[in-house]
Each structure stands twice: as structure tokens, then as C-alpha cells.
Structure 1
Amino acid sequence: MIPKNLTTDPLIYGLVPPPLETCLGAPVQPALISALTDMASAARAAGFDLAIASGYRDFARQLLIFNAKARGERPLLNDRGQPVKASNLSTDELLSAILRWSALPGASRHHWGTDIDVYDAGVCVDGYSLALTTAECEGVMAPFHLWLSEYLATQSLFIRPYCQDRGGVAPEPWHLSFAPLAQAYRQAFNVRDLEQVLKAADVALKDAVLARLMALVTRYVV
């Protein structure tokens, strides 16, 4: 349900989808397709099979992920990437463990259709479990990671919004954002509108999230 008193586009919070087309198997905004096609072609020429693990994701899907982690129904990791039990954590610890790795519903950049997670499909054989973590930068994905870093330095359309650990979201070197569109959505993002969206939704830990919302946005929304 879209709150009636929003002051910004509900698309920003994943409540309505942007225009979408499928590219490399994932839904993205049409404006990305030319740049994505060029990047995939360059990757192929360098010997890599660039693929997209995740593109557009709506509010309902992000809510499902968040709630499942809050209820201990999906794997939960601490800052060091080690498994922890939700039942053993305080409310603050639980929120930190969730938001370190998964966005708050309504605050994911994947809501915009501008952000993607990429990988080299060519090395994902024999039951390889894709994790999209920094550890893979030194494993089988290391050559692709090096190539991707070099390629990104030659252009200005795609950026890595989570390339550094600022104490909130874990570094995501595989997460790319199409800056010409994403920057406008980020600038339009409004905490008070997010608050209304969360109040209207069945969010686990809702009272705790709302009580800490400004601090959570400051720390985890990039």
C-alpha cells in the first residue's frame, strides 16, 4: 500500500516499479542497457562472461528478506561474516547484523532499477556457490575483479557505491550503480517518506526501526 502523504516518488522506496527491460537476464531500467551491453562485450573480449546476479528488487521482496533475517529464518552474519543466531542478539545487535548485509525495506538502491550485482559466470561451475563478498576478490573471481576495476576507471556511468567500509554496509565490490539515474533518486530520497512507508508495512522490529530510523539511515543508506 502506498501512503497517501508521500512527498516524493513512491518508486524511490520500491512501491512502484520503474520502466524495466531485461538485460543479461536481469530487470533494469532501459537507460542502462547500452552501457551494460558495452561492458559485457568488453568483458567477453577479455575472457570473462559478465552476468547479473541481481537487478531491480521491489519493496515486497526486500521486506521478505529483512523479515526472514529478523525472525531467524534466513542466515544471519556478524560484522566478520560469521553465522550468528538472531535469538542470541539484542535488538541493536540484530539490526546491525541485518543491515550490515541487507538493506532496510524502502531503502535499497535495487528499488530504482539502476543498480546491479555482477559476477563472472564463467567460473561458476561444479556447484559453485556465489556469495558476492570481498573474499571472492581474492578467489576464483580475482581476475574478473581486477578487470572490472580497470574497466570502471575508464568510464563514468557506473560507480561502486559500497566500495569502502564506512562502518555501516559491508563493502560490495560487485555492486554497480548507474550514476546518471541513481544519483537523482538518492538525492530525492526522503527519510520522512520512508518512515510513512515503514509505518504502513508489516515490518519485523518495526517499533525499534522507527525509533532509530534517522540513525539507521545515516549509517546504512548510501
Structure 2
Amino acid sequence: MSNSRRDFIKKSLLLGVALSTPMALSAMFTNQEELTFSVDELMGKANPKMFGNGYKLRKEVHESLVKLTAAAKKDGFSPYVVSSYRNYNHQKRIWDNKYIKYTRDQKLSPEKAIEKIIAYSTIPGTSRHHWGTDFDIIDGAKGVANNPLNEKHFNEGGVYHEFKLWMNKHAEDFGFYEVYTNAKDRKGFKYEPWHFSYLPTSCEMLREYINQGVIQNIQFSDIQGAKHITAEFLERYYNENVLDINTELIP
């Protein structure tokens, strides 16, 4: 195990104590190296320059996706990005709408509503889509299915199954890795066969997200139901939803 991997695990385990003691948290996550990404940028609150035709991604991610798209087209596919960069306010709208729907319309308790939301949706400020490194992708050659980001479309017999097999074989050649895998022991977000991340940049952004203790800001956010997000819940969410991802994407 590398030293960086040990440091990563150590910081993850220490989070539970640090969340309840802000001063300790601040000290624990002090990064002595020069920072590349600000807290605002990591939380989707900055305005980074994005590139793409019909999607928004960082320059290097966009350039690699163009190469992947060209290769896929040679094999009869037409990659289509359904969702890419989302800023904090965009994610907040998604969160708030779901929270209101579940608590008001479905009469769920705040706690149950939050648990239902985080099956697939991130808490604003914690989404990898804030980074411009991640995207949700389908095969446009097959059209946009009803509710396209549904696992059934990517499984055997599904409209995007052949494209998913192609991505499984070739995506890593271009730096893209599936984030929320179907590994049996993985916790957190449900399996998302459509969600890929550009490893070279996203690993560095996750490293700084950890080092700067960005997760602590969630306890003071302006989202619906924020008062029900306890330190205990946030510790579990951080370890299971933010960190329990494809191990290749762990810095």
C-alpha cells in the first residue's frame, strides 16, 4: 500500500471525530502543498471554463472524450453525453425539488426523504459533476430512451447494452473509469453504468477535496433539510457515498 493511500484512509477514518470538533477538522486537513483547486471550485460554486459541444467539461476531459467518441463511431456507436458539469445551484435545485416531493407529496419524514434522495443524487457541494471531470453517457445511435439513466437499459437485452460493453473494454484507454460500480461490497450510491470520470484530473480533485476538508461545509449549507444532516449522518455519507467508489479513482 502506498503512503498516499495510507494517508487517504487515515483521513477518512478520522473524519468522524473531526466533524464534531471544527478546530480539529481545520488542523487535520491543512495541506502544506500548493493548492490547485479552491473550495468553491470543488463545491461547484466557482465559474471554471468549460468546453464541449452540447456538454460542459474541463479542457483535457473534453479533448479525451473527443478521441473516445471518434473511436466509438468507428465501431458503430454514437456517444451522447446526457449530463456533465453541474454547478452548486443546479444540484441544489435537484436536491430541493426531490426533498419537497418526498416530504410534502409522499409524506416521508425528513430523514427518510434524505435517505431516498441519496440513493442516486448527491448532496449539493459533494457532487463529482461539480468538477467538470464526470459525465453520464449513452449511445445516441439508439436514441434517447425513456428515463435513459436506468440500469435496465445497460444490462443484457437493454438498448445501451452493446455500448456499455464497448465502454467496459475501451473507456480506460482514454482515461475514463466507471465511478459507481456494481461491486458487491460497495456501499453508497446505487450502480450507475452510465457515469464515467476522467481519472487524471478527478483523482487530484478528490485528493484536494479530502485535504481541504470540504465536506465540513455541508453542515452549514442552505439546502432543504440541512438541519437534519447530522455529523453522524455526514460521516457515513462521506465514507459510503463520496469515498466508496471505483478503487481506481482513489488517489
1:18 equivalent among 25, 28, 48 = 48
Paired positions, count: 203
2:238 equivalent among 214, 217, 221 = 217
Which is richer in helix? 2
Which residue does 1:101 correspond to in 2?
120
Which residue does 2:7 correspond to in 1?
none
Give 1:146 shift.
1.2
Query: Residue deviations 1:6-47, cap 9 Å, x none?
Result: 975310011103221124x10100011221111101111111
SS at match of 2:154: helix
Q: In 2, distance between residues paired with 1:87 and 1:195?
A: 30
Q: In 1, distance between residues paired with 2:96 and 2:127?
A: 15
* 1:42 has 2:71 as partner: yes
Which residue does 1:151 correspond to in 2?
170
Query: Residue deviations 1:117-159, cap 9 Å, x none?
Result: 111111116xx32431221113111111111111125x16111
1:196 equivalent among 217, 225, 237 = 217
The within-5 A match list for 1:1-222 is: 8-23=38-53, 25-72=54-101, 87-124=106-143, 128-138=145-155, 139-153=158-172, 155=173, 157-164=175-182, 166-190=186-210, 192-196=213-217, 199=220, 201-211=221-231, 212-222=233-243
Instruction: Answer yes or no: is the 8 Å Cα contact 1:86–1:94 preserved in 2.
Output: no
- Closer/same/farther in 2, CA of residues 100 and 60 from structure 1, 3 Å limit: same
Q: In 2, distance between residues paired with 1:163 and 1:213?
A: 22
TM-score normalised over the length of structure 2 = 0.73
TM-score normalised over the length of structure 1 = 0.82
Query: Residue deviations 1:38-75, cap 9 Å, x none?
Result: 11011111111111111110000001101110100xxx
Q: In 2, distance between residues paired with 1:86 and 1:194?
A: 30
Give 1:167 shift.
2.8
Instruction: Answer yes or no: is the 8 Å Cα contact 1:115–1:176 preserved in 2.
Output: yes
- Alignment root-mean-square deviation, CA: 2.4
Q: In 2, distance between residues paired with 1:108 and 1:86?
A: 25
Instruction: Answer yes or no: is the 8 Å Cα contact 1:132–1:174 preserved in 2.
Output: yes
Q: In 2, distance between residues paired with 1:180 and 1:130?
A: 30
More divergent stretch after superposition (88-97 vs 105-114): 88-97
- Closer/same/farther in 2, CA of residues 18 and 221 from structure 1, 3 Å limit: same
- Closer/same/farther in 2, CA of residues 205 and 34 from structure 1, 3 Å limit: same
Q: In 2, distance between residues paired with 1:171 and 1:121?
A: 21
Give 1:181 shift.
0.5
- 1:106 is aligned with what amino acid? G
Give 1:94 shift.
1.6
Instruction: Answer yes or no: is the 8 Å Cα contact 1:168–1:219 preserved in 2.
Output: yes
Quote the sequence identity (%): 26
